[in-house]
Structure 1
Amino acid sequence: MDLFRQSIEQPENLLPQDGQAYYHGILIPVDDADHYFAALMDNIQWEHDQALIYGKRIITRRKVAWYGDQPFAYTYSKTTKHALAWTKELLALKSMIEHHLDETFNSCLLNLYHNGDEGMAWHSDEEKDLKKHGTIASLSLGAERKFAFRHKHRQHQQKQQTQSLILEHGSLLVMAGTTQTFWQHRLPPTKKISTPRINLTFRNSV
Structure 2
Amino acid sequence: MCLPTTGPQARQTASLIDLSSDAQLHRWAGLMGPSQADHLLATLSQTLDWQQPKITVYGRQHPVPRLTAWHGDTGLRYRYSGHTHTATGWPAGLLPAKAAIERVTGKTFNSVLANLYRNGDDCMGYHSDNEPELGHAPWVASYNLGACRELTFRPKGPGSQRQCLSVPLHHDDLLLMSPGVQACFEHALPRRRNRPDPRINLTFRYIVPDQNPDL
TM-score (norm 2): 0.87
How far apart are the structure 1 equivalents of 2:192 and 2:128? Answer: 21
For the 8 Å contact 2:4–2:29, the answer to whether it is kept is no
Measured after TM superposition, the shift of residue 76 of structure 1 is 2.3
Asked if 1:183 is matched to 2:157, the reply is no
The Cα offsets for residues 26-45 of structure 1, whole Å up to 9 and x where unpaired, read as 21211111100000011101
For the 8 Å contact 1:136–1:201, the answer to whether it is kept is yes
Measured after TM superposition, the shift of residue 49 of structure 1 is 2.5
For the 8 Å contact 2:32–2:100, the answer to whether it is kept is no
Higher strand content, 1 or 2 = 1
Q: Secondary structure at the match of 1:108?
A: strand
For the 8 Å contact 1:49–1:61, the answer to whether it is kept is no
Distance 1:39 1:46, change over 3 A: same
For the 8 Å contact 2:54–2:63, the answer to whether it is kept is yes
Amino acid at match of 1:138: S
Aligned position for 1:22: 26
Aligned position for 2:106: 102
Amino acid at match of 1:45: D
Aligned position for 2:6: 5
For residue 175 of structure 2, the aligned residue among 157, 166, 173 is: 173
TM-score (norm 1): 0.90
How far apart are the structure 1 equivalents of 2:105 and 2:95? Answer: 15
Q: Secondary structure at the match of 2:20?
A: coil
Q: Secondary structure at the match of 2:29?
A: strand
Count of equivalent residues: 203
Measured after TM superposition, the shift of residue 82 of structure 1 is 1.9
Aligned pairs for 1:72-83 (under 5 A) are 72-83=76-87
For residue 90 of structure 1, the aligned residue among 88, 94, 119 is: 94
The Cα offsets for residues 52-106 of structure 1, whole Å up to 9 and x where unpaired, read as 2222222124110110012322112322222232011211211111111111110
Q: Percent identity?
A: 37
For residue 46 of structure 1, the aligned residue among 43, 47, 50 is: 50
Q: Secondary structure at the match of 1:85?
A: coil
Amino acid at match of 1:116: G
For the 8 Å contact 2:113–2:204, the answer to whether it is kept is yes
Distance 1:174 1:154, change over 3 A: farther
Q: Any stretches of 5+ residues in structure 1 without a counterpart?
A: none
Q: Secondary structure at the match of 2:131?
A: coil
How far apart are the structure 2 equivalents of 1:3 and 1:182? Answer: 29
Asked if 1:119 is matched to 2:120, the reply is no
For the 8 Å contact 2:30–2:172, the answer to whether it is kept is yes
Q: Any stretches of 5+ residues in structure 2 without a counterpart?
A: 209-215
Aligned position for 1:134: 138
Aligned position for 2:194: 192
Distance 1:154 1:166, change over 3 A: farther
Amino acid at match of 1:63: L
Measured after TM superposition, the shift of residue 155 of structure 1 is 6.0
